[in-house]
Structure 1
Amino acid sequence: MNDRVSTSIADGIADVRLTRADKMNAIDPAMFEGIGAAIDALAERADVRCVVLSGEGRAFCAGLDMASMQAGGSGTSRTRNDQGSILPQHVTWGWRNLPMPVIAAVHGVAFGGGFQIMSGADIRIAAPDARFAIRESYWGLVPDMAGFPIWRGLVRDDVLRELVYTAREFDAAEALAHGFVTRIADDPHEAAMTLARTIAGRNPHAIRGAKRLCNMAHDADPRTMLEAETDEQVKVIGRPNMMEAVAAHMGKREPVFVD
């Protein structure tokens, strides 16, 4: 890990924070590398049941650090990983493809690349005064950090086009109405941690199976989805964690699962 991202893990929850607070967590080459490394490290952690992603300081992420990018180039490889992503896409798409759920806690601003990174989370909780923008056209660019394959499952096509073409800012209420934000909370990080604790208290194998199904749901045909549901159920039904869930509920106690 580098000095752009910190990860702390406790009780099955990874608390991941963007730590370039003096620049409102704007993305420079080191930030790309730090986020990518954090995602890759979490992908290997069987003991992590949920991830909370947030930004330190005044903002979640202000988008690309244009001065840094112009001075040093993108600094990122164009080599695609096994998910089909290059690094600037992996910092968004990678959250969606982690085996465990990811909750983004958003405050301040989520502009441009920061908005795309936020979009990669399974669930997005925003502060009431948070501001958003698909900012790329303001700089003469197009969104290219995996936003499009995610947004098509979140928002109406004409709404997306208007926001992409104009680069205008919008508030948390509008983001919620469009589907970019799951809900609004006065303290999004605390709300995200509370939700993460609930998720971490469920059978981790069932949650991972459910995420795989959710990731398929937008694109797969019905027959494929029917087969996938059955396959995922076979992996958990009658297994120790499922039996522990039943025993715990019957005994009115907290379950103790094995990762």
Structure 2
Amino acid sequence: MTDRVTVHVHEGVADVRLNRPDKLNALDIATFEALAEAGDALAAAPSVRAVVLSGEGRAFCAGLDFANFAAMAGDGPSGGPGTGNGGSGGQRSKRLSSDITDREPGRITNLAQQAVHTWHELPQPVIAAVHGHALGGGFQIALGADIRIVAPDAKLSILEIRWGLVPDMTGTAALIRLVGEDVAKELTFTGRMVTGDEAVRLGLATRTAGDPRAAALELAREIAGKSPDAIRAAKRLLNRAAEGGDLAGQYLEESRELGALRGSPNQAEAVRAYFEKREPAFTDPA
């Protein structure tokens, strides 16, 4: 990881922060790499039970670093929000110097997509806390979370159409899941700005809070107090259902997950703690 993203873990909650406040946390290749690496590290950390994703300074993320975008404007078919010149020296990253249809090794994504998809595939729940601006790729990062808590006056936009482009960081799939085809198309075709309040009404966000990060941390601590086995199983099942698996397969997977949980140490501890009127003492997954 680089200083583009900071990660602090306390009592089972990982506080992940985009850390480029002087640039409104604008995205460059170093940030994509740092986000993907942070996701990999958290996936391998069994003591982490919930994740909060937010941005330092005045914004969640203002989208692609405009200096990078201007530099790549003439790059031809390889250009796009997920590519271009990155890093403080303005040198093109070797990882993104080829066609953006190239996938990261062993993944279904390119690097920019993985900076978003990593939060969807993380076994732990991820809560995005959004304030200020979340534009273009920045908005797509928030869409990768399981839950979004936004400031009422936050400004969010699928902004790629302004540059004659399309959302290319997994946003097309997330939008359809969250708001349906017609609203997804309207937002994508127009690039119009929506407030946090409207985002909740449309289904883009879960709820508003005056201090989204504080609310997200509170929710994360609540989730971290539940059985981590059950939480992870629930996320797997809900992700599968949202991705449109067949009903028969979904119902069978529910049964398999329940069978694995039933009688397990953490499940037994949840029952004992409830009847003994005490806080449960769960064991982290192996």
1:106 alignment partner in structure 2:
130
- Counterpart position of 1:233: 258
Letter in 2 for 1:23: K
Q: Distance in 1 between matches of 2:246 and 2:57?
A: 43
| Corresponding residue to 1:167 among 187, 191, 209 | 191
1:91-170 to 2 correspondences below 5 Å = 91-170=115-194
Per-residue CA deviation, residues 138-173 of structure 1 (Å, 9 max, x unaligned), is 011110000111121100211111111111111111
Match of 1:202 among 226, 232, 255: 226
Task: Show CA shifts across 1:70-105 (max 9, x none).
Answer: 437253433334340111111111100000100000
Equivalent position of 1:245 in the other structure: 270
Q: Is the 8 A contact 1:103 1:121 kept in 2?
A: yes
1:10 corresponds to which residue? 10
SS of residue in 2 equivalent to 1:17: strand
CA distance in structure 2 between the aligned counterparts of 1:71 and 1:99, rounded to whole angstroms: 37
CA deviations 1:95-138 (Å, max 9, x no partner) are 00000100000000100000000000000000111010000010
Answer with 71-80 or 244-253: which moved more: 71-80
Counterpart residue identity of residue 13, structure 2: I
Alignment equivalent of 1:193, drawn from 217, 224, 240: 217
Bigger shift: 83-92 or 121-130? Answer: 83-92
| Contact kept? 1:156, 1:178, Cα under 8 Å | no
Q: Secondary structure at the match of 1:6?
A: strand
Distance in 2 (CA, whole Å) between partners of 1:166 and 1:254 is 49
SS in 2 for 1:121: coil
Tell me the SS of whatever aligns to 2:282.
coil
Normalising to structure 1: TM-score of the pair?
0.97
Q: Deviations over 1:226-251 (max 9, x none)?
A: 11001111111101100111111111
Aligned partner letter, 1:164: T
The AA in structure 2 aligned to 1:237 is R
* Percent pairwise identity: 52
Q: Which runs of 5+ in 1 are unaligned?
A: none
Of 11-20 and 28-37, the range deviating more from structure 2: 28-37
Q: Quick check: 164-173 or 178-187, which moved more? A: 164-173
Q: Distance in 2 between matches of 1:46 and 1:151?
A: 30
Task: List gaps (5 residues or longer) in structure 2.
Answer: 73-83, 86-92, 97-101
- For 2:197, the aligned partner's letter is A
The answer to whether the 8 Å contact 1:5/1:17 transfers is yes
**Aligned partners of 1:33, 1:104: CA distance in 2, in Å?**
19
Tell me the alpha carbon deviations over residues 149-202 of structure 1, each in whole angstroms, 9 at most, x when there is no partner: 112110021111111111111111111111000000011001001100110001
Secondary structure at the residue paired with 2:54? strand
Distance 1:209 1:119 in 2: 21
